[in-house]
């Protein structure tokens, strides 16, 4: 037997966390809800394989947290295993953003109430920031996911038929409706290819 290279281990474990377009949308929405967002916009292009974008008006990410925001096992939500007894957030494992970075190309734009303007960060496959520039967006966070599963042909292969893609769109709509039902005060907007759109208020 041989030990797998670290990069392969990362990719395989990421593909267990991020299994579908729906799982990306679910993780990003839950991050928005954990950040106290009251309005969330979800935009997909080509069923999410070209682009998934989730924009919220939540708390934003502090400048000090930016270098580790997408590094695996970094979280702002718990500090030790005892905290698992009193969870108040959807996330706590610090795995979602890191796993999404490993399986796609990710940009994060964010602004907190303390920041004077928003900043867009480009991340590499290990979740580290490779570049940044000022942006015009208001308070909150926008995560843009490009070329999902570009390095996981087996996951992409699963969606090779139009039927599978349409089923996935239906799953996303059902997921959004479920959040709409448990959070009646939340505004959710969902668009696919600029043509289809669904508004839940
Ligand atoms: P987890 O949710 O388990 O902490 P994630 O990888 O999903 O792990 O996110 C890592 C961290 O990035 C979160 O703990 C949070 O501090 C920050 N974060 C991610 N998405 C958002 C968002 N939409 N708004 C504010 N902070 C965010
Ligand atoms: Mg999370």
Confirm whether 200 is domain-assigned: no
Q: pLDDT band at residue 148, thresholds of 50, 70 and 90?
A: very high
> What is the side-by-side order of every strand in the sheet holding 196-200?
129-135, 118-123, 105-111, 140-146, 51-56, 39-45, 187-192, 196-200
Model-wide pTM > 0.85? yes
CA 113/CA 189 separation, integer angstroms: 23
Atom of ligand 1 nearest to the CA of 100: 6
Confirm whether 44 is domain-assigned: yes
Tens of pLDDT, residues 6-43:
999 999 999 999 999 999 999 999 999 999 999 999 99
Confirm whether 116 is domain-assigned: yes
Q: Choose one of 34, 40, 90 to mutate for the ligand 1 pocket test, by most ligand atoms within 8 angstroms of C-beta.
A: 34
Task: Find the 2 Cα to ligand 2 centroid distance in Å.
Answer: 33
The finding on whether 69 has its CB within 6 A of some atom of ligand 1 is yes
Tens of pLDDT, residues 65-77:
999 999 999 999 9
Give strand ranges (E) for 124-177.
129-135, 140-146
| Domain span including residue 148 | 2-193
Return the residue whose CA atom lies nearest to atom 16 of ligand 1.
76
| Overall number of domains in the chain | 1
The finding on whether 56 has its CB within 6 A of some atom of ligand 1 is yes
Q: What is the DSSP track for 41-103? A: EEEEEGGGTSEEEEEE-S----TTTGGGTTSTT--SS-SSGGGGGG--SS--SS-HHHHHHHH
Q: In CATH, what number is assigned to the domain containing residue 75?
A: 3.30.565.10
Contact (CB, 8 A) for 56 and 34: no
Confirm whether 115 is domain-assigned: yes
Confirm whether 198 is domain-assigned: no
Nearest to 48 by CA among 188, 143, 182, 177: 143
Confirm whether 201 is domain-assigned: no
198 has which bridge partners?
Answer: 190
Contact (CB, 8 A) for 49 and 22: no
Tens of pLDDT, residues 91-143:
999 999 999 999 999 999 999 999 999 999 999 999 999 999 999 999 999 99
Q: Choose one of 28, 30, 31 to mutate for the ligand 1 pocket test, by most ligand atoms within 8 angstroms of C-beta.
A: 31
Confirm whether 145 is domain-assigned: yes
Confirm whether 173 is domain-assigned: yes
CA 139/CA 4 separation, integer angstroms: 42
């Amino acid at each position: 037997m041989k030990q797998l290279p670290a990069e392969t281990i990362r990719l395989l474990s990421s593909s267990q966390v991020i299994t579908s377009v729906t799982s990306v949308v679910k993780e990003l929405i839950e991050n928005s809800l954990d950040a106290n967002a009251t309005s969330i916009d979800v935009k997909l292009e080509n069923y999410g394989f070209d682009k998934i974008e989730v924009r919220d008006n939540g708390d934003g990410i502090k400048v000090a947290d930016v270098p580790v925001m997408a590094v695996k096992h970094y979280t702002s939500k718990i500090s030790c295993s005892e905290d698992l007894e009193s969870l108040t957030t959807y996330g706590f494992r610090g795995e979602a953003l890191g796993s999404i970075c490993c399986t796609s190309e990710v940009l994060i734009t964010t602004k907190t109430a303390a920041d004077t303007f928003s900043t867009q960060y480009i991340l590499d496959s290990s979740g580290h920031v490779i570049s940044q520039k000022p942006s015009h967006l208001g308070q909150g966070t926008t995560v843009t996911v490009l070329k999902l599963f570009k390095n996981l042909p087996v996951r992409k292969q699963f969606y090779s038929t139009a039927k599978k893609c349409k089923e996935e769109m239906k799953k996303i709509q059902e997921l959004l409706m479920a959040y709409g039902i448990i959070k009646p005060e939340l505004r959710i907007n969902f668009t696919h290819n600029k043509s289809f759109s669904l508004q839940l208020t």
